[in-house]
Amino acid sequence: MQEKRSVKEIKWWFAELCHEEDVNRYLKIFPELDSNLSKYAIGILFWEIKGLVNLEDTADVEMIKFILKVLKDNPMAFQIFDNTFCEASFDTTFQLITNIMNMKILHLSDTHGCHHRLRDLPEADVMVHSGDFCMVGSEQEAIDFLNYFCDLPCRHKFFICVIHDDCFYGATPTALMTMSITYATPYRD
């Protein structure tokens, strides 16, 4: 029977750190690593080598299993940790994963200049407006929207400019700051 790619990857990474004898132990403790989560095995090994986790301690093992479950079930968490997992400490990773699980995201779009009609928006940790906040794309419409958007009671705000928001095409964050719009982060594709 051919060995799965995920197990081969874990064996290779562990061999690079002279820990090939630990592969079966890790797969026994964390069978979920035999999947697209295999890349996270090396991060767990780093935590163990640094003494940040003890795989004999059921509390540490359960927290790691929780982290792996969130990474498996939550594409946003998977993307966040895709290339940074090995650098993050165990405590930081657990805290961030817990925050992601409790995060409330409010998504708005296609308000076309009618944003003032929105009343009693739910509380959110992150607010995203995915575009078409203007009707015709005038600078005055955009400024009106941004003043409204920045005054909303949410700490982290992002907006994306699309076809009706063309007055922002070519705008830079520096130019936005000169308009006293400093609480929202623009994203242009």
Q: What is the pLDDT of residues 88-100, one digit of tens each?
A: 788 888 888 887 7
Neighbour tally for 129: CB within 10 Å:
24
Residues 6+ apart with CB under 8 A from 171: 186, 188
- pLDDT tier, 181 (very low <50, low <70, confident <90, very high otherwise): very low
Are 100 and 85 contacting, i.e. CB atoms less than 8 angstroms apart?
Answer: no
Tens-digit pLDDT profile for residues 149-169: 888 888 888 888 777 777 776
The residues that bridge with 187 in the sheet, in sequence order, are 160
Tens-digit pLDDT profile for residues 6-44: 889 999 989 998 999 999 999 999 999 988 899 899 899
The three-point CA angle 152-178-115 to 5° equals 30
Instruction: For residue 157, give the 3-state DSSP assignment.
Output: strand
- pLDDT tier, 115 (very low <50, low <70, confident <90, very high otherwise): very high
Pairing of strands 105-108, 185-187: unpaired
pTM of the shown model: 0.56
pLDDT value, residue 25: 94
Which region, left, alpha or beta, applies to residue 168 given φ > 0 means left and ψ of -120 to 50 means alpha? Answer: alpha
